Amino acid sequence: GAGVSQSPSNKVTEKGKDVELRCDPISGHTALYWYRQSLGQGLEFLIYFQGNSAPDKSGLPSDRFSAERTGGSVSTLTIQRTQQEDSAVYLCASSLRRAREVTQYFGPGTRLTVL
Amino acid sequence: DAKTTQPNSMESNEEEPVHLPCNHSTISGTDYIHWYRQLPSQGPEYVIHGLTSNVNNRMASLAIAEDRKSSTLILHRATLRDAAVYYCILRDISSGTYKYIFGTGTRLKVLA
């Protein structure tokens, strides 16, 4: 079946501009995660959505970052007034539910470059 | 706040078995151990996971120590396509999100 998809695959923007990154999770998956991977680094958690519950935003690095998930499916991550340190690969993952043994499925990521 | 420790890099010859170690000395009794790999320019790909017993699937085997403080991912016959960064991951269950806590992973180089 279809996996997690993300768009765009690459985004180049100028410092100070706003960007929107999109994630389409696997159909029926109630849990959705955003992670960020800076050059040569491991993945860091950004935000988590579970069904209709309030999202866990504890990983967002600043108030310039926000995310929403409409209808329990598609999610968008918005970065306002982008800075060069925001350059990274942004990865989305989904899982069937929130549970210890349930695996997350990752999308291919969006590579963001802020000039 | 990574919960796992892995060697930064390892090398293997093609067609030979590879044993990738991971230490997770602070693991709780209900933590599952997940392994993912990340090929260049791709998102992480699920490999295997387990709780206490050793696990096998078509990609790999997972050997879990009796005290669960370490585990080993075993690739039975490495191929060039197995060259990737391998992550041993525990989940953050305290926050309720069950998010993955990634360490720095092991970069596996496979020599032809």
Q: Is the CB of residue B42 less than 8 Å away from at least one CB of chain A?
A: yes
pLDDT tens-digit map of B10-67: 999 999 999 999 999 988 878 889 999 999 889 999 999 999 989 999 999 999 999 9
H or E stretch covering B51: none
pLDDT tens-digit map of A62-96: 999 999 998 879 999 999 999 999 999 999 999 98
Q: Do A106 and B2 touch (CB under 8 A)?
A: no
Give the model's confidence band at B70: pLDDT under 50 very low, under 70 low, under 90 confident, else very high. Answer: very high
Match 């032809």 to its residue by tokens: B112
Q: Using alpha carbons, select from A21, A27, A24 the residue that is nearest to residue A8.
A: A21
Match 């306002």 to its residue by tokens: A80
The minimal CB distance from B105 to the residues A4, A42, A103 is found for A42
- pLDDT at residue B109, as a whole number: 97
Q: Using alpha carbons, select from A93, A73, A41, A109 the residue that is nearest to residue B46.
A: A93
For A10, nearest residue in chain B (alpha carbons): B41
% of chain A surpassing 70 pLDDT: 97
Give the model's confidence band at B111: pLDDT under 50 very low, under 70 low, under 90 confident, else very high. Answer: very high
- pLDDT at residue B103, as a whole number: 83
- pLDDT at residue A102, as a whole number: 78
Q: Do A42 and B2 touch (CB under 8 A)?
A: yes
Mean pLDDT in residue range A99-106: 81
Count CB-CB contacts under 10 A for residue A84.
9
Using left for φ > 0, alpha for ψ between -120 and 50, and beta otherwise, residue B6 falls in beta
- pLDDT at residue A7, as a whole number: 96
A52 has a pLDDT exceeding 90: no
On chain B, the residues whose CB falls within 8 A of the CB of A100 are: 30-32, 91, 93, 98
